[in-house]
Amino acid sequence: MAARIHIVGASSSGTTTLGAALAERLAVAHLDTDDFFWEATQPPFTAKRPEAQRVAMMEAEVAGAPSWVISGSLIGWGDVFVPRFNLVVFLHVPHAVRMARLMARERERYGAAIEPGGAMHAAHLEFLAWAQAYETPGFPGRSLERHRAWLAALSCPVVEIVGTPSLEESVARVLAAVGSDR
């Protein structure tokens, strides 16, 4: 059976990590939405690609491929791909754990540049404020509220992984849902 899986969740919930592990286990392509959403800039994540270009780039990657794993959020720009999913996985990690992961990732990626006086400090603080608002009702950005509404409208099965199970446990849950024990 073809596996066309989309993994979604808040920033630092583990979508990319799980997506890469699943793609490797299934021997299929792994696509991360950030690679399509953002232009390659230095520093990264500062210039959004036009929506039509994002969609065309992702379309070129999935066209003709029977199976793939997409990690990250498509909400608001990638609805054209939704009918192709045969499974969506939603990761919901506790806020404190997610923010600790995010801070560790930011420090690893950018080091002193995010510290006060660093070249990326202001952008870092803006990103933290955005990421912290995920669980805030009415937040207009990527949010738990928007994810829940989007998930409720899907016609394919949804697997929700809550908490912090091991990567192996999460992979096993998803493989069971797609009917594969590979």
Query: Could you report the per-residue pLDDT of 138-175, keeping only the tens digit for each?
Result: 998 889 999 999 999 999 999 999 999 999 999 999 99
* DSSP tag of 111: G
The H or E element that residue 161 is part of is strand 158-162
Mean pLDDT of 56-77: 94
Q: Is the pLDDT of residue 3 over 50?
A: yes
What band does 180 get if pLDDT is binned at 50, 70 and 90?
A: low
Mean pLDDT of 96-102: 96
Instruction: Give per-residue burial for 57-73: e unless 16+ CB within 10 Å, then b.
Output: ebeeebeeeebbbbbbb
pLDDT at 181 over 70: no
Tell me what pLDDT residue 141 has.
86
d(CA 179, CA 65): 19
CB neighbour list of residue 125: distance below 8 Å, 6 or more residues apart: none
Mean pLDDT over residues 90-102, rounded? 97
Ramachandran region, residue 12 (left: φ > 0; alpha: ψ -120 to 50; beta: rest)? left
Residue 89 and residue 161 in contact, taking contact as beta carbons nearer than 8 Å: yes
Domains of the chain by start residue, with CATH: 4-178 (3.40.50.300)
CB 5 within 8 A of CB 174: yes
Mean pLDDT, all residues of the chain: 94
